[in-house]
Amino acid sequence: MSASARQVQRMLALVPYLQAQQGIPVDRVAQEFGVAPKVIRKDLMQLMFTGVGEYHGELIDVDLTALEEDGVVHLRDADFMTRPLRVTAREGAALIVALRTLRAAADAEQAAIIDGALAKLEHAVGGSVSAPVDVHVEPLDPQVRDAVSRSLAESRRLRIEYATASRDELTTRDVDPRRTFTQEGRLYLEAWCLRAEDLRFFRLDRMASAEVLDVPVDDHGVDPVDLRDGFFAGGDTGPSAVLDLDPTARWIVEYYGAEVLDDSADVWRVRLHGGDESWLRRLALRNAGSVRVVEPAALRAQVADHARSALRAYDGPVATDEEL
């Protein structure tokens, strides 16, 4: 949308807003509308040239003395527009899909509130809202989700059993929750981890259990992390491996964002950055037959060791009924 269209949109909302809030400080208006105070002042100057006609009483009037001396806004002669315009179909679609996204991550009580808001919003939108858009968020253990939202609501410490991403172990940690958010369709908890003594992100679907403790949370004096900086973008750090992929394993390139080193033959050579070595080892074992480790040699040796010792269990006779 162009800057002038945005300004028209803002001014059309300002007219009913300011009439309902006579005497509101201009700084507060700016804050509510998400722009600088000087933008609102400029809007007000332009509004004074608009109205239903050109004579006194037909043009919108702003009390300039009050604006200059007290920094507050009084708007007169605008009774021809006391209500804002309807939410348009486009705005409605954007907001409805956003609400569905919230709903996908909500507990039962929150979902009921969102359903109420959705129903009222659809009524407020001009024309029919066509938003055939689905947002899928991974399903969660309700016990974990409810404990997490309760600990946030009551500002109490949480004890979680957590399965770390790659190391195949379950750890028990006490954490002070700060907020939850979703990223790539998964729900995360941002919390101060008392074990790591640092801010950490925990995936809710990796929590085996969560229990709200009778301990209030500590502030720990840290600023929230701004996710817009792309916290998850740092995929190029940590160990990496060079792999050969058969045609059936090419999905790995797109799925994990591997870097293609050579695709001139049927077998592609790629570099994959992994969380740690055990993750890379598990990937190679899982896809054995279509994925081969080229380097590092240490990773190749690990894959060989694990495969060799695992095979011992299969070399003997197939398990009999008694053994099961």
Partner 1 sequence: MNLIFLLLSTRQFLSKDQIREAIADYRADGDVAFNRKFERDKEELRELGIPVETGTHSQFGDEPGYRIPRESAELPELDLTPEESAVIGLATQVWEHAGLAGQSSAALLKLKAAGVDVDTSAVRMAEPRLSAEEPAFDAMWEAVTGRSEVQFAYAKAGEPSTTRRVQPWGILSWRGRWYMGGFDLDREAPRLFRLSRVEGEVRTVGARGGYEIPEDVTMQDLARSLFPPEPVGEAVLHVQRDRAVALRRSAVSVTRLDDRTDEVVVRYASPWQVAAEAASYGPDVVVHSPPEARQLTATLLRSALDAATLDPAS
- The residue among 149 and 240 lying less far from partner 1, judged by its C-beta, is 149
Residue 69 Cβ vs partner 1, minimum distance, rounded to whole Å: 26
309 binds partner 1 (CB under 8 A): yes
- Is residue 307 involved in binding partner 1 (CB under 8 A)? yes
Q: Least distance to partner 1 from the beta carbon of 169, Å?
A: 6
Partnered with residue 175 across adjacent β-strands are 158, 193
The DSSP letter of residue 77 is: S
Closest CA to 8 of 47, 57, 34, 38: 47
Annotate each residue in 259-288 with x if it binds partner 1 (CB under 8 A) or - if it does not, as one string.
Answer: ----------------------xxxxxxxx
Residue 8 touching partner 1 (CB under 8 A):
yes
Which residues, other chains included, contact 117 with Cβ-Cβ below 8 Å and sequence gap of 6+? 99
Query: Site residues for partner 1, window 216-255 (CB under 8 A)?
Result: 227-228, 244, 247, 250-251, 253-254
Tell which one of 62, 73, 152, 258 touches partner 1 (CB under 8 A).
Answer: 152
Secondary structure (3-state) at 62? strand
Q: Which residues pair with 75 in a beta bridge?
A: 62
Cβ atoms of 130 and 93 within 8 Å: the answer is yes
Q: How far is the CB of 64 from partner 1 (least distance, A)?
A: 19
Does 20 engage in binding with partner 1 (CB under 8 A)? yes
HEC letters along 218-250: CCCCCCCCCHHHCHHHCCCCCCEEEEEECHHHC
Residue 134 sits in the site that holds partner 1 (CB under 8 A): yes
Q: How far is CA 224 from CA 25, 110, 218, 219, in A?
A: 29, 24, 14, 11
DSSP for residue 54: S
With CB under 8 A as the contact rule, the residue among 36, 64, 98, 222 that binds partner 1 is 98
Does residue 41 belong to the site contacting partner 1 (CB under 8 A)? Answer: no
Of 85, 222, 261, 298, the one binding partner 1 (CB under 8 A) is 85
Least gap, CB of 190 to partner 1 (angstroms)? 9
The CA radius of gyration of the chain, in Å to the nearest whole number, is 29
Give the total of residues touching partner 1 (CB under 8 A). Answer: 122
Residue 163 binds to partner 1 (criterion: CB under 8 A) = yes
- Considering only residues 180 to 209 of the shown chain, the ones binding partner 1 according to CB under 8 A are 180-187, 208
What is the nearest approach in angstroms of partner 1 to the Cβ of residue 266? 10
- Measuring CA to CA, which residue among 92, 146, 148, 144 is closest to residue 120? 92
Instruction: Identify residues 100-119 at the interface with partner 1 (CB under 8 A).
Output: 101-102, 104-107, 110, 113-114, 116-117
174 beta partners: 159
Q: Taking the complex as a whole, how short is the minimal distance between the CB of residue 77 and partner 1, in angstroms?
A: 11
Element (H, E) at 179: strand 170-183
